[in-house]
Chain A
Amino acid sequence: MASDQEYDDQSDEEEAGVRDGRRRTMASRPKDRGQARWEEAANRNWELQEGADGSIEGVLGGLEEASKRKRLLKDTTPLQRGIIRHTLLVFDLSSAMNEKDLRPTRHLLTINYTIMFVREFFEQNPISQLGILGMREGLAVRVSDMSGNPNDHITALKLLRATEPKGNPSLQNALDMARAALYHTPSHGTREVVIVLGALLSSDPGDIHDTIKACIRDRIRVRIIGLAARMHICAEICRKTNGGDESYYSVAVDEVDYRQQLMSITTPPVLRATDTKAQKQNQAALLMMGFPSRIVEEKPTLCACHGNLTRGGYLCSRCKAKVCNLPATCPTCDLTLILSTHLARSYHHLFPLRNWVEVSWSRARQKGSTQCFGCLSSFPVIPAQYDGVEHGRWAVRNKRAEGASESSRYECETCGSHFCIDCDVTCHEVLHNCPGCQSRGHVGGGEGVVDGG
């Protein structure tokens, strides 16, 4: 078979290459097989190459840089994303969560991670709403209602620590309750359900496929994080509600991976152009929102949201009722009240910073960079070049690691400045700005700032 031939060729390649997803099942794998996916990810300490002076410092540094960069290299084309999100988090509170394979138990670890997730979610998506459900003893229970205030959820989660998980989970009941909770959400926002499933079964009262069809009709997108093993029904739910996209179901390998997957949900989901039915139902709308200013009063007055006496707050732009903190819905006239900073928080999702590329020694020599442009820390010295051959101490660390630059320099393609690995991570994860692009305005063109920075 032709595919057998290709597979044998692949087994001759070096390790750490990125495969393109062609996976063979156990039964059809030939004898002199290539690597399984778990083998690629395994750490091979015995294969580290020593440098000319006998130290492995260069290689270890390269491995460290490669691991830092792995998190960064994701697709940064500006795509249309659903910024106003209505998300429901569904927990598995069944007896399978008492397993201790994730320390201390799956249940406690899930709650810990979820508290961090709630904070990060509202920081990244300030105008969104979150609700939490649980699956316990075959029923779906409500842990906290849909709201935009993170403290409600965190209090409810802390109470959940005290309850003991038991029984079996029921995916159908959870999805039905989620559908009901998301029924009244406006059409311009996204409707998402995130299920964390630790059990390997689902005990449902009826036909789950009807529920799946109803979810598709209601435009609900389901995402599942498994903790044990892949299940066919989970893959089917995720595939059907996301229009055939298989990447919304994943199984966590260990604690770090679990946390990364949970945190990746804080990024707004991509709106698909192929979803014409959803577009006809018109997701985009022009929303009326108020932008109040903060006032400080001499004498305390009652606030409209709690009824407490406070000396300051925000006045609704339409009806002048006082609310304590934003974002909020005015209790009197139902106007959404936000600050422009809340909208600005989501801009970096819509205009992401492009990835930086690794710099080879020849390019480094061309630019002659000695310091990182961002933090002024010095780079390794460019080795002297005689007859096209690299000499010097740094020359021998040619195979550092996949993803790490041989010269420790990373270049922004727009402005051409070189940065170190720490600035790379900072700028892409926290700042979302490129220092080089921002510090060099165009002269004589009338255009101030290079876009995309």
Chain B
Amino acid sequence: MNAVDATDRAATQEEVEAPSLLTIILDTNPHAWALLADSLPLSKAVANLLVFINAHLAINYANRVAVVVSHSERAEWLYPTPADATLEQAHSNGDGENGNRAGTGGAVQPPDDANKYRPFAQLEYAIMTNLQRLMCTTTPAAISSAPSTMLAGALTRALAYISKQSASTNPTTTATTHFNYSDPSSVAGGNSLNPSDDTTTTSRSNQRLTTRILIVSVSGDLAETYIELMNAIFACQRLSIPIDVLKLAGDPTFLQQAADTTNGIYLSLSNPLARAGMLQYLMFAFLPDAAARERLVMPGEGEGVDFRAACFCHKRVVDIGFVCSICLSIFCEPLADGTCLLCGSHLSMANYGQKPVVVARPKKKGKKKRVVDGGVETPGSGRETPAPG
């Protein structure tokens, strides 16, 4: 049929871009935002974020967005609005009929404005309402006694949502990079044996949902939930979900490793001047999706990443650590009594290079002179080097 009127119908199929789901995890740790109040208050940051979300939705009509907030003692959904939240709203407002009727994905009706694009208005209203409700229901006890923020929880909820959305939009894929849980014979990384096969099928199948996560973070210490956070990061790596990080304040700790492991972008805005331009950073660095990123020079490529670990005993950063082979905990110096601090098992200690291993000297005949490169003899070859101390 194509030969009749010489149109190539296959080509038009490929011009449609794949829909993309952007999940934003907003860290609303009140302590940290209070410190930033003079340069970038939370309201301004949320406003910037809303403009960014509108831009993402505008690029492709099929693009979607989800927002999770990571508060001091809980992780909640801002968008799509969870069902129990809307029930509360309906009861408190009184006009359950045409007011705030909602289900998942929220048909939360914003006040009528004829000139505002309806999806943008709806999203903004839902996010602002839910954020206000979150702040109103925060108790002083929660802020004072909880750890900094529940980032691991927010990531976990986001990932559960993402995998459900991916599974429902890609029902027939087998050789995909997304893991198909219903099929007992599928394996992560795709069923095909050649890993490069997966990328070619990805670019050609335009109906697949591509996903990515953006974390806007202001808190420092995340060491409490280290294991859970690393589990979530490895899950993202397995599902090929890039994690982008925009750090407004606080130590990089694990988020830089997260961005590096999952091929995301890590940006840190350390001075007030940079923070004032938050929207510009968002638009330039985080708006392009995975396909566009291959053709752009992304920020943060030329820098090294600090992968050093923190020891479990003093929380010092170590270059060379001592690892228990049972529980894999890292210590900064050889243990005094040979007992692991975490698992309590008795560990045998080696001498750790204090006495280097030396080849035994041959007794008979002439000495074997060891010649190194330019004919320079190593001094005292064949004799043991003196042990330190």
Contacts and interface: CB of A to CB of B under 8 A. Distances in A.
Contacts of B303: 296
The majority secondary structure among interface residues of chain A is: mixed
A346 B185 contact: no
Residue with the highest number of chain A CB atoms closer than 10 Å, among B74, B80, B328, B331: B328
Interface in B137-186: 139, 141-142, 145-147, 150, 152-154, 156-157, 159-161, 163-165, 167, 179, 181-182, 184-185
A424 B230 CA distance: 19
B188 A430 contact: yes
Interface stretch (A44-52, A347-355, A395-403): A347-355
A383 interface: no
Contacts of B313: none
B156 A435 contact: yes
Interface in B337-356: 338, 340, 343, 345-350, 352-353
A161 to B, nearest CB: 10
A287 B325 contact: yes
Residue with the highest number of chain A CB atoms closer than 10 Å, among B193, B343, B346: B193
Contacts of B345: 284
Contact of A291 (B141, B160, B319, B325): B319
Contact of A448 (B225, B319, B353): B225
Nearest to B151: A438
Contact of A290 (B75, B179, B188, B319): B319
Nearest to B327: A350
Contacts of A123: 188, 238
A443 B142 contact: yes
Interface string B94-131: 00000000011000000000000000000000000000
B348 A426 contact: no
Given A438-B75, A443-B139, A293 B306 contact: yes
B349 to A, nearest CB: 5
B330 interface: yes
A439 B157 contact: yes
A43 interface: no
B141 A443 contact: yes
A285 B234 contact: no
Interface residues of A, number: 87
Given A295-B304, A374-B157, A431-B156, A449 B147 contact: yes
B257 to A, nearest CB: 6
A120 B150 contact: no
B307 A375 contact: no
A263 interface: yes
B316 interface: no
A425 B150 CA distance: 23
A346 B230 CA distance: 10
Given A116-B193, A340-B307, A376-B104, A284 B74 contact: no
A296 B184 contact: no
Interface stretch (A63-71, A91-99, A203-211, A242-250): A63-71
A284 B233 CA distance: 29
B279 interface: no
B83 A294 contact: no
B73 A260 contact: no
Given A284-B325, A286-B322, A291 B227 contact: no
Contacts of A289: 320-323
A294 B331 CA distance: 21
| Interface bin, chain B | 35 or more
Given A291-B321, A435-B156, A284 B187 contact: no
B384 interface: no
B152 A285 contact: no
Contacts of A67: 184
B224 interface: yes
Contacts of A420: 164
A341 B261 contact: yes
A450 B154 CA distance: 15
B230 A282 contact: no
Contacts of A376: 77, 80, 82-83, 104, 161
B130 to A, nearest CB: 13
B320 A335 contact: yes
A83 B73 CA distance: 33
A217 to B, nearest CB: 20
B72 interface: yes
Nearest to B233: A341
A283 interface: yes
Contact of A433 (B76, B231, B307): B231
B335 interface: yes
Interface in A395-442: 419-420, 422-423, 425-427, 429-435, 437-442
Given A429-B181, A440-B73, A288 B164 contact: no
A41 interface: no
B39 to A, nearest CB: 28
Interface in B33-80: 72-77, 80
A120 B308 CA distance: 25
Contacts of A442: 73, 146
A422 B182 CA distance: 8
A317 interface: yes
Q: Which 6 A-B pairs have the closest CB atoms?
A: A374-B160, A438-B153, A375-B164, A340-B309, A439-B153, A448-B147
21 contacts: A83-B325, A116-B193, A284-B347, A285-B325, A287-B325, A290-B321, A291-B319, A293-B305, A293-B307, A340-B307, A340-B330, A341-B230, A375-B161, A377-B164, A429-B179, A431-B231, A437-B153, A438-B157, A441-B72, A446-B145, A449-B225
Given A255-B185, A376-B82, A438-B152, 14 more contacts: A123-B188, A284-B324, A285-B347, A293-B304, A293-B307, A294-B307, A333-B353, A335-B320, A341-B230, A341-B261, A341-B307, A374-B157, A431-B159, A435-B157
